């Protein structure tokens, strides 16, 4: 662990070694998932005998909430629950209620959101909303049922995910987003049909470049469809207008659907592209990630984390915990995507061989 930081007068002004503030905290609540998507948890690795973490290793809801309080004191204003598949965590609504009750030093509520594959959303949406969840992001890689079943590799039908999205809307969850990971040659023909389906629906669709996260998904650069080409395909079908970023450190480039006069039409909504392979956004990355067993990671492509669980379960005071987290963030210098972009196409940084899996810390 780095030496504890001096917190006097620091709080929300906390910066890392490259001047990046701490704003978003992504918390993985389980390392399990009921899908076996090839780009995240390929079945040949995550088989029926795979050694998942024992329940005693997982942070309890109270431990997660305590950690969240420390991060909030240091500048976090947005918390995203992820996994694995977070809705597999028993009584997840209890954790959401605990987090929704937290306040910033200024007395403001947090932005609480959750990412899910949508398989359990239809039965959980209302309970999540009632517990205090504000927004939800659903992973959906295509509308073609055969392609979707192939990509989730458990024969799960796309209709059930769409039903979950409708249930989330009916429950009153706002700013619903759908994330589509685009793999060239696998589901890139679904780009326009997905846009056509969600255009004007109140749901924001985002296209994500297939990323080299972890070391088990067999990532190849020739399967990456650059976001610029995604926009080209969409522009050929729907006039689009570039929109400003919604917040500092926003990963998605926003595009709005245009009306007959070429102006953004809010009723038609927007799409986004996340270009973490072809256009690195390390420069203003403001996210930290807490794994389900309490390891703190400072980059999605990190190869090692910091053991917060031991600190949380020790006699260390809340102030001491904040100081330790502050020291870790101040020493942060991660910029994997920038380094990758500077190397020949057939090479990646040495750390790529031991990167943490996305299913362990979430996307």
DSSP secondary structure letters along 255-279: EEEB-TTSSB-TTT-EEEEE-TTTS
CA pair distance 333, 306, nearest whole angstrom: 14
Buried b vs exposed e over 63-102: b needs ≥16 C-beta within 10 Å? ebbebbbbbbbbbbbbbbbbbbbbbbbeebbebbbbbbeb
Is position 37 within any domain? yes
Q: Is 238 left (phi over 0), alpha (psi -120 to 50) or beta?
A: beta
CATH code of residue 278: 3.20.20.70
155 CB neighbour count, 10 Å cutoff: 9
Question: How far is Cα 174 from Cα 135, in angstroms, rounded to an integer?
Answer: 5
How far is residue 24 from each of residues 3, 40, 86, 196, 202, measured CA to CA in Å? 23, 22, 18, 31, 24
* Whole-Å CA distances, 213 to 108, 322, 348, 354: 34, 29, 12, 10
pLDDT tens-place values along the chain, 363 residues long:
676 655 544 444 799 999 999 999 999 999 999 999 888 888 988 999 999 999 999 999 999 999 999 999 999 999 999 999 999 999 999 999 999 999 999 999 999 999 999 999 999 999 999 999 999 999 999 999 999 999 899 999 999 999 999 999 999 998 999 999 999 999 999 999 999 999 999 999 999 998 765 555 556 777 889 999 999 999 999 999 999 988 766 778 999 999 999 999 999 999 999 987 777 667 788 999 999 999 999 987 777 899 999 999 999 999 999 999 999 999 998 766 656 655 554 444 444 446 566 566 666
CB 73 within 8 A of CB 105: yes
Is residue 1 in a domain?
Answer: no
Pairing of strands 111-116, 135-139: parallel
Number of domains in the chain: 1
Q: Round to whole Å and give the CA distance between 341 and 281.
A: 11
Give the pLDDT confidence score for residue 351 in this predicted structure. Answer: 44
Domain annotation covers residue 6: no
DSSP letters of 133-193? Answer: --EEEEE---S-HHHHHHHHSS---HHHHHHHHHHHHHHT-EEEEEEEEEBTTTTGGGHHH
* pTM for the predicted model, two decimal places: 0.88
Q: Is residue 4 part of a domain?
A: no
Q: Hey, how many other C-beta atoms are within 10 angstroms of the C-beta on 54?
A: 8
Which phi and psi (to 5°) does residue 320 adopt? -65, -40
Q: Looking at the domain assignment, is residue 296 inside a domain? A: yes
* Structural domain range at position 339: 11-361
Residue 87 lies in a domain: yes
Question: Strand locations in the chain, DSSP E?
Answer: 24-28, 78-82, 111-116, 135-139, 174-182, 204-209, 240-243, 253-257, 270-274, 287-290, 295-297, 306-307
């Amino acid at each position: 662990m780095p030496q504890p930081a001096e917190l006097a007068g620091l709080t929300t002004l906390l910066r890392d070694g490259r001047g990046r503030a701490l704003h978003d905290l992504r918390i993985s609540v389980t390392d399990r998932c009921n899908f076996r998507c090839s780009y995240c948890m390929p079945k040949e690795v995550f088989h029926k005998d795979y050694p998942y973490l024992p329940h005693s290793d997982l942070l309890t809801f109270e431990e997660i909430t305590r950690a969240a309080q420390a991060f909030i004191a240091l500048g976090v204003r947005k918390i995203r629950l992820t996994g694995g598949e977070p809705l597999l965590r028993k009584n997840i609504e209890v954790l959401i209620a605990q987090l929704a009750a937290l306040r910033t030093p200024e007395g403001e509520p947090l932005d609480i959101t959750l990412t899910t594959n949508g398989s359990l959303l239809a039965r959980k949406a209302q309970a999540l909303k009632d517990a205090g969840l504000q927004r939800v992001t659903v992973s959906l890689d295509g509308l073609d049922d055969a392609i979707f079943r192939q990509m989730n590799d458990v024969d799960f039908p796309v209709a059930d995910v769409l039903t979950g999205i409708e249930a989330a809307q009916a429950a009153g969850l706002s700013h619903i987003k759908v994330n589509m990971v685009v793999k060239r040659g696998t589901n890139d023909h679904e780009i326009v049909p997905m846009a056509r389906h969600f255009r004007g629906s109140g749901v924001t669709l985002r296209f994500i470049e297939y990323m080299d996260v972890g070391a088990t998904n067999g990532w190849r650069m020739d399967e990456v469809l650059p976001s610029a080409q995604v926009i080209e395909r969409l522009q050929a079908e729907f006039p689009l207008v570039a929109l400003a970023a919604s917040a500092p450190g926003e990963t998605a480039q926003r595009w709005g659907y245009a009306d007959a006069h070429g102006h953004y039409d809010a009723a038609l909504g927007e799409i986004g592209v996340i270009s973490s392979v072809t256009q690195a956004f390390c420069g203003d990355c403001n996210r930290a990630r807490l794994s389900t067993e309490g390891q703190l990671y400072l980059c999605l492509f990190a190869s090692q984390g910091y053991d917060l669980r031991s600190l949380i379960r020790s006699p260390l005071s809340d102030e001491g915990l904040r100081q330790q987290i502050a020291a870790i963030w101040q020493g942060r210098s991660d910029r994997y995507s920038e380094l990758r972009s500077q190397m020949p196409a057939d090479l990646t940084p040495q750390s790529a061989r031991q990167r943490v899996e996305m299913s362990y810390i979430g996307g």
